Structure 1
Amino acid sequence: MSGTPPVDRLDGLLAPHANRVELTGPLRSLAFPNRCANCGVATTGRLPVRKVFARNAGYRRWASSRRYAGYRIDTARVPYCHACLAQDARERDSLALRWRRRLGGMLIRFFPAVFPLGFAVYLLATIEPPTHPGDPAGGFERALALVCALSGAGLLAYAWWDTRNCMVPKQTNVTLAFDFSPDVSDILDHAQRRIYAMRDAAFADAFTALNRDRIWRPDPAAVRAEKRVWIACLVFLALAAIGAAVLNG
């Protein structure tokens, strides 16, 4: 609802191509022309281009998001010819390098899991089988060991989940031909909004034409409504602060 975010807001997040368009809707609903985004030749091939964004990388939508709070991985299936796909494969980080990065991050995150898992093993090792009727069977120790084991397993699962970004290859000269920003929509927007930057002017024209129904245009009425919402929020906070001061006085 506000205008396009300032350039410095997207600095480092979007390639500095002159051909840009701002569209609404998710990445998976984009329409692409059957031509290579890098060199412009006709093609039907598609390359999943993935990017990692911090949750606060966009505008203000992240404040109300219910998705994972650390980062998100967004994917667009962009058309590229066989020659450009081969060039991308040569420039892309190797799978072994990405796994080394991930394993290094996982080892650091695995460390907290050592304590609950080690304590669970200790509890199970100290349980002695009952030798006489009526002797305790170690039910409490087994239950506590189970809780510790589940806690450690949860930490291991989190370490695996939190290092997914290490497996996303860095952008190459090929994939930078078509670049996209994080979601720059406002809190009151009903759909995602992204800025797309393209190196090839002919591809950019064809892409924009195919997605012309999704081009974002500022709505003056929505801007006024957003201002009224923020004013109402400020008034409410001011009244709450005055009320708290009076009650505490």
Structure 2
Amino acid sequence: MTDSPAPLVLVPGWWLGAWAWDGVADRLRASGHTVTALTLPGLEPDHPDRGSVSLADQADAIVAAIESHDRPVVLAVHSGASQPGYLASDRVPDRIAALVYVDTAPGRGAIDPGLSGPELPLAPTWEELGENLDGISEAQLAEFRARAVPEPAGPVREAPELANDARLAVPSLVVATAFPAAEYRKAAAEGAPWLAGLTELTDVTYVDLPTSHWPMWSRPDELAEILGAVAAGGPSAVG
């Protein structure tokens, strides 16, 4: 880390654009941080062909955002963005000062290899979505549904092709929100594909932030504080 905080690159999960990070990004910028929030390829509302978007395409976009800064960044990935985020760390590990997994973790296998069709829409009801919504207001849920964009199927059914062992030493932080860090560790040890990367990383810190699967909406102050601390001092600064 340098004397000044590392720039932050924030990547939202499925169905979301850069707007999902607005509250957290505003708080971080007000504290003097440099922040880039991304809308991944295929998540633009007017994208003409989501079925053509691959996991590699999304990783390319993350790498480009990282390389737009003149020094290593803190990369924060939420939910399904862990897949292209981990792939980006395989490509440019030296450009990532720390990688923060927000209610997610690095995976080795595809999230849903059997998914058919060109895209995955947001579930029609919150019950069918099956995610923790604690602390999210009705207004926030309404905005989520109004602005949600179908997720391209490629990044959901493709597994990351990983080749650079230098990614394993990137300092990483798991922010456990919808369920505790202990459950992350247990599921990873039991072989859950979407958590499998946790068993191979050599520098992982965990912090519990009990709330919804979307803490950027339900606990933005606390999440911004965590990210700001990582940017200033690395994952070990979070306690």
Q: TM-score, normalised by structure 1?
A: 0.22
Larger relative contact order (C-alpha < 8 A, sep ≥ 6)? 1
Higher-Rg member (1/2): 1
Tell me which protein shows more helix as a share of its residues: 1
Q: TM-score, normalised by structure 2?
A: 0.22
